[in-house]
Structure 1
């Protein structure tokens, strides 16, 4: 079977994998005055042996340019490589990093340097660095999620919001799967919640906690990969958008047996 499109449709070039991509990026804010950023770096390897001398370095750019430079992090190679389901899919190696940064310096972005036998290759995301949003930060250790087959989708989300961002509204949007007439593929409708300020101020950080919870019973088939988005509106210099965050890194919400 060959799929066709109308002749007036202009096809794009074939989408190819990004050679290097950050993934599973989490930031934890605590009252010590630091924020800890952790994550993975996915690097395409295409079944070629990774040089034993390879080093992967993560270089951080501070949010406030008048502060000292931030030390880089050396990423550690994870044992498990991955590949796609297609027989000609590329293969990827994974490196993990963790770094604590003083909140007074903040984080704006990072770049990744790959050293093979001392020869460096910089990955700068087109020259701008891989951006890090720190006005609104999901706190994975204070949140939970669950997808119960045929029952409901549950998310209890806690975020830290920077006080000097002057956000008057913090909005959580979750795309919920819904039935589409005549289709076996579900559509998605936005489930929108205003996040509530808890009154908890993290001393010495300049951040406050906001929370929101949802329990939604699906009208469509079971969908395992769920996402959410965050936005902030207020009197500050800019609106804040944190789009398309997967439900990852959370503990599992407790299941109510009587449901």
Structure 2
């Protein structure tokens, strides 16, 4: 008997988002029936940070975040969840900067537009949780560790903190299993990593007129599993096996949070 073909991704609003942007991937089996938005940081003309593994291989953040988000999506779908990806390809899922020929960065206004569109995607999905995947960077290559950010100044703060704590625990546990136990940088206030123009991350923050006019409407956290600028950190997950393991850790953290939310 031939297995049924897997349903194609569904674009939630093709009039607003380009191909590959804001796409829903259906659950592969019955399960929690939750919808989880995974946001792969950077993309397109915005590469994010760049790191180098101990063997000299250069790794670009936008490629790493996408690989981890796709691996997490795969595992979450196997657990019975619908997954929405803000971007599912190398390009920005919001279309910002697609035609301006700019390489290496987005302007402040373009970055704001891109982040606001990612929030619109999450709200359109009516998600139960939003997780944005990034990697930390620092001038000193010896600095490393795992950090997860959440927003404490919004009605959803307790749920967002619970999600962040679950992700932090799951990621650190999985990295330890890989033989690379990271330093615990903790679950921290998102204002410690605020984008230019505000003290809060657009994806996580509360409503701030003129800066965050449409906040995300679900518990949300941003993970920084490792420092891409730390060769030892990066070497732990730069392989396909490592990226899959990190994706599964993100999936496990979200799943533990959802299970706890159902019990509460």
Same fold (TM over 0.5): no
- Structure in which a larger fraction of residues adopt helix: 2
Say which structure, 1 or 2, has more relative contact order (CA 8 Å, 6+ apart): 2
Q: Which has the larger radius of gyration?
A: 1
- Structure in which a larger fraction of residues adopt strand: 1
How does the TM-score come out when normalised to structure 1?
A: 0.28
